[in-house]
Chains A and B, each alone.
Chain A
């Protein structure tokens, strides 16, 4: 199975700054079939991105995704207070579907 490793485990930033979250796959993700989710404390995960760079419905354009092959990035520009959460990547090109371990984005 494809193992996804996210970095860093925790990222401390201030509102207004830019966040860069990494997701690295143990083997190439077929056709960049990679998604990102946001999970706030006590809440359900929410789909942010799919296909590595396509925003899901209702996701603001300060969220962007990039990458291909084994290296993917989620960038959040101009952090808002509501953006501080845990972010997970997920690959869906190979079975079994796998998730990364998560990056916690916390307020500095």
Chain B
């Protein structure tokens, strides 16, 4: 059974960089060409926002609304993938979820397995 677990600081100062890691167990990042691995966030009391995804071959898709502040990387040997978000402000305060995305060449994918989420607060 696939499990995903987010880890990283719960508090980040404004203008600094947020860094999170998602560790996978029960499956492999390379188990299928159809899986991307990504990040979604949810500000307190609000809805979901897609951040971006990465394939084990290094292909990535990002939400342009984040204006290139987000970088997603993958370490297949360590069964981890990571998110960095630069120049954070209070509006980046949210629960950050990592998730597995089912993707094929005809579409951009839906999320069939999620981590528990980790709250990141941006505050001085």
Contact = CB atoms under 8 A, between A and B. Distances in A.
The DSSP consensus for interface residues of chain B is: strand
A65 interface: no
Given A37-B48, A47-B112, A47-B113, 20 more contacts: A31-B107, A33-B108, A35-B110, A37-B111, A44-B97, A45-B48, A45-B114, A46-B114, A47-B110, A50-B110, A56-B112, A92-B108, A93-B108, A96-B63, A96-B64, A97-B50, A97-B109, A98-B50, A101-B47, A102-B48
A54 B80 CA distance: 30
Which among B47, B65, B116 has the highest number of chain A CB atoms within 10 Å?
Answer: B47
Nearest to A35: B110
A47 B2 CA distance: 14
A10 interface: no
A98 to B, nearest CB: 7
Q: How large is the interface on B (under 10, 10 to 19, 20 to 34, 35 or more residues)?
A: 20 to 34
6 A-B pairs with the lowest CB-CB distances in the bound complex, closest first: A35-B110, A97-B50, A99-B48, A44-B114, A33-B107, A92-B108
A31 B108 CA distance: 12
A94 interface: yes
Contacts of A31: 106-107
26 contacts: A30-B107, A31-B107, A33-B108, A37-B48, A44-B114, A45-B111, A45-B114, A46-B114, A50-B110, A50-B112, A90-B48, A92-B108, A92-B109, A93-B108, A95-B61, A95-B108, A96-B50, A96-B64, A97-B63, A97-B109, A98-B50, A99-B47, A99-B48, A100-B47, A101-B47, A102-B48
A99 to B, nearest CB: 4
Nearest to A44: B114
Interface residues of A, number: 24
Given A94-B108, A96-B65, A44 B48 contact: no
Nearest to A33: B107
B24 to A, nearest CB: 15
